[in-house]
Amino acid sequence: MSMKTLPLVFINLGGEMLYILDQRLQAQNTSEDNTEKVLNDIARTLFSKVFMDELLKPQQLYSHRTLKTVLTRLAHASIMRLNPASMDRLYELMIMTFKYQVLLCPRPKDLLLISYNHIDTVRELVKDTPVIVNQVAETHRKIIEVYSSLSEGEFQLLRQTLLIFFQDMHVRVSLFLKNEIQKPNGRFSLSTSGPVPHGIDVPGLIRTFDRKGREVGRGEFPTGGSYSSSIREGSFELHGDRVIRLGLNVYVPNGTMDDSEYLTHIWTDEDTPNLLAKEELNLLAWLMGSVQVENMPRAETGFWINLFSTDQEEEEKEGESAEFGVINIQAIQDQQATNELAQIVGQFAEQEKQPEDPSGNKGDDLLAMMDDL
């Protein structure tokens, strides 16, 4: 596992977060002042010196649960608040987009170009705030300093670490499905055509050499695809043409994706979620004491926003999946059963204490630091 993966994860996911929020806030007619303040506050926190210095320390990649907690705190670093459903979909969309970018990355080293595209675009989003622009530029310099000296093998290990992190994420996105770059099971379909990575020969040619290293014959073999010569290498400097488009903001008018469809329909399950089953699980979680409710003071100057039309999605999915058999779980609370379960849980709590999970503290220092920003 690479110990230098975390900074690139936050930069790329943070960049995707800003892209999505910028598009959705504009689509919901949020005032320009509020939109600008939300983006500036999140970018200021993401690219703050203390936050980046902590991320740049060699450390293992966080779990999805810990990473989502930190990103939720990052999204709420502004006056905006997201409901849990919107945050879930925001996280899934960020993850699946970055996963697709990593899969399409021509060379492991080109992960830097994807990250630099995110940094360049975020710098453009906050261009009217010089302080944040300087923060972004300073972070960019640190990234260049840390990663420019890595070998090809270290970049390959970094990419492999990311792929392992993404391997169990198969959230279906309607636009990916429509363009046939994602299968119904949520896995991506990679093309076997197009330009080869920079510095790589077009496959299909076999050359034969003698003992003295002289070429004595040539042959060909079917490649199973249509490959072309590589394009020029992108710039790894502070400013320059990155050449590859992975990591750019696809939600702008001249982007390559239909933003409304891309952001509205995000499916996480093979079939329609059973709302009664969800209530049953919520009841069980409450009995086990694992549900915590956070109340936001109403006097706080901010606004709540639903990024995605959750209710509409549920209705559409319910209608589309009517052909499938559905097993309903009775979720009506029985008071006597509830009391008995509560007593059992209380006995467990008195008889034994759960050992502390050392991995559970991962990210706590980062969260505490974000509170101070």
- Report the Cα 167 to chain-centroid distance in Å: 13
38, pLDDT greater than 90: yes
Query: Rounded to an integer, what distance in angstroms lies between the CA atom of residue 267 and that of residue 277?
Result: 18
Q: Band of the pLDDT at 150, cuts 50, 70, 90?
A: very high
pLDDT at 15: 96
Between 82-91, 147-156, 353-362, the lowest mean confidence (pLDDT) is in 353-362
What type of residue is 194?
Answer: G
Mean pLDDT of the region 94-109: 94
Total structural domains within the chain: 1
Q: Which residue has the tokens 């993401």?
A: 46
- Mean pLDDT, the chain, rounded, equals 79
pLDDT at 299: 43
What type of residue is 186?
Answer: G
pLDDT at 192: 82
55, pLDDT greater than 50: yes
Query: Rounded to an integer, what distance in angstroms lies between the CA atom of residue 22 and that of residue 38?
Result: 9
Q: Band of the pLDDT at 321, cuts 50, 70, 90?
A: very low
Mean pLDDT of the region 115-132: 96
Hey, which residues does 195 pair with through a beta bridge?
Answer: 228
Assigned domain for 115 exists: yes
Assigned domain for 367 exists: no
Are 273 and 141 within 8 A, CB to CB? no
pLDDT at 369: 64
Beta strands in the chain (DSSP E): 80-82, 172-173, 194-195, 205-209, 215-220, 227-228, 266-267, 303-305
Assigned domain for 294 exists: no
263, pLDDT greater than 70: no
List, as own/partner pairs, every contact residues 32-39 make where C-beta atoms lie below 8 angstroms and the sequence separation is at least 24, other chains included.
34/79, 34/80, 34/303, 36/128, 37/78, 37/79, 38/78, 38/79, 38/80, 39/78, 39/125, 39/126
Query: Rounded to an integer, what distance in angstroms lies between the CA atom of residue 153 and that of residue 4?
Result: 13
Note the pLDDT tens digit of each residue in 181-228.
Answer: 889 899 998 888 888 998 888 999 999 999 999 999 999 999 888 888
Assigned domain for 180 exists: yes
Helix-helix angle 152-166:111-125, to 10 degrees: 70
Tell me the pTM: 0.73
Q: Band of the pLDDT at 339, cuts 50, 70, 90?
A: low
pLDDT at 141: 97
- Report angle CA 132, 133, 138 to the nearest 5 degrees: 95
253, pLDDT greater than 50: yes
Reading the block at residue 329, the tokens are: 């779980």
CA contacts within 13 A on the Cβ side of 308: 23
Query: Rounded to an integer, what distance in angstroms lies between the CA atom of residue 199 and that of residue 203?
Result: 12
With a pLDDT cut of 70, the percent of the chain lying above it is 69
pLDDT at 225: 85
Nearest to 7 by CA among 63, 56, 59: 56
Q: Band of the pLDDT at 148, cuts 50, 70, 90?
A: very high
pLDDT at 351: 57
Assigned domain for 106 exists: yes
Within 10 A of 149 (CB to CB), how many other CB atoms are there?
8
pLDDT at 30: 86
Assigned domain for 270 exists: no
pLDDT at 37: 93
Within 10 A of 319 (CB to CB), how many other CB atoms are there?
9
Reading the block at residue 289, the tokens are: 């004491």
296, pLDDT greater than 80: no
Query: Rounded to an integer, what distance in angstroms lies between the CA atom of residue 275 and that of residue 346?
Result: 28
Assigned domain for 50 exists: yes
Are 98 and 12 within 8 A, CB to CB? yes
Cα four-point dihedral sign 29, 27, 38, 71: positive
Q: Which residue has the tokens 């302080």?
A: 131
Mean pLDDT of the region 92-108: 93
pLDDT at 293: 38
> Exposed (0-12), middle (13-18) or buried (19+): which is 315, by Cβ within 10 Å?
exposed
pLDDT at 297: 42
Q: Band of the pLDDT at 318, cuts 50, 70, 90?
A: very low
Nearest to 112 by CA among 230, 244, 255, 252: 244
Note the pLDDT tens digit of each residue in 7-29.
Answer: 999 999 999 999 999 988 888 88
Domain that holds residue 167: 5-188
